[in-house]
Amino acid sequence: MDRTLIILKPDAVQRGLMGGIIQRFESKGLATVGMKMTMLSRSVVEAHYEMHREKPFYGSLVNFMTSGPVVLMVLEGNHAVDVCRKLIGATAGFKAEPGTIRGDYGMSGANNLIHGSDSNEAAKVEIARFFKADELLTYQPALQHWVYDTSGGKAQ
């Protein structure tokens, strides 16, 4: 099983969209193995978005991500990164397809509701940035055999 980091950004929290967004991931069959609500420090946000440091939107992105509480989640499932990115949709809400989180709830390119890891490698780094090992659970959801074909002994 793969894991990915999801951040419900300050706009998702302030707009009261947390439950609806989380439900989409659960309905798809992803397991939540870690979750917490927090205020991110400037230094953590700067490290998280280091790859954008030279871009013109970097300062406003850091300010936005530190402007209010966020929800940090670690989701687990087969192909978790790819599945989550499809559920999330294109970066700008006004360009995102209907049926995606950003397509259904977003209009902005900057205040875009949610972050999802873009690769398995990035997910490992990002999860370690926001979660201690003992904050993550390992368990088999009771409904897993209904989500995946487990007839071969392994979820497929």
Looking at 48, 52, 115, 145, which residue is catalytic? Answer: 115
Q: State both tokens at 26.
A: 């659960």
> Hey, is 73 helix, strand or coil?
strand
Q: Which helix (H) or strand (E) holds 83?
A: helix 80-88
Is 115 designated active site? Answer: yes
In the beta sheet, which residues pair with residue 34? 74
Q: Is 18 exposed, middle or buried (0-12, 13-18, 19+ CB in 10 A)?
A: middle
What percentage of the chain's residues is helix, strand, coil (to nearest 5)? 40, 15, 40
Q: State both tokens at 30.
A: 């992803």
Catalytic site residues?
Answer: 115
